[in-house]
Amino acid sequence: MEKIRAFIAFHLPPDVREHIEKIQNSFLDRGVRMRRVRSENIHLTLKFLGDIEKKHIETIAGAMTESMKDFLPLHLSAGGIGVFPNIRKPRILWCGLKGDTHELIRLQKNLENHLEASGFEKEKRPFKAHMTIARMKESPNPQHLRKAMEESANLFSSPFCADEMILWQSRLRPSGPVYSRLQTIGFTNRY
């Protein structure tokens, strides 16, 4: 069986990715050592599936469709900065969201339930709505990191509409991951 690495996410419009790129640059300008995620690869992950068999793509698309039935497109803004796992040993720099975040969390939970009913393992960790914008192999200077986080805390992008859930394939390359769309499911309900 042919396997592919896959995840489900919302794609971000160019102006939101540009906003995040400015935040990345402000961290680099402050001396925070990090490997930033390429702008075209920044997305809002709803479910990381890992390695799946290609034959399951249609099943996953069906679960995506079912999970979106009772929802309207989401209106969100990107902003607010944090780190995983914590400020003492940061490994991931992320950008948060504001707007329809309660609906986003409800939608993600609904997606998890439909995928679980289709035979996919449920995520054990609670969902934290974010976009990964950089990775850190070594802990940066805490003062530089805190200062950059404070300066970026209230910078939010213009609002955007998350109206298509996408099943992506991820191919890992030495230069970084390459993503390609496998399925795109739009919301059937509209404003």
- Give catalytic residue positions: 43, 130
Report whether 156 contacts 98 (CB < 8 A): yes
Helix, strand, coil percentages in the chain from 3-state DSSP, rounded to 5? 30, 35, 30
Shortest CA distance to 166 belongs to which of 6, 23, 16?
Answer: 6
Q: How far apart are CA 60 and CA 167, in angstroms?
A: 8
**Largest pairwise CA distance in the chain:** 50
Q: How far apart are CA 184 and CA 165, in angstroms?
A: 6
- Coil, helix or strand at residue 171: strand
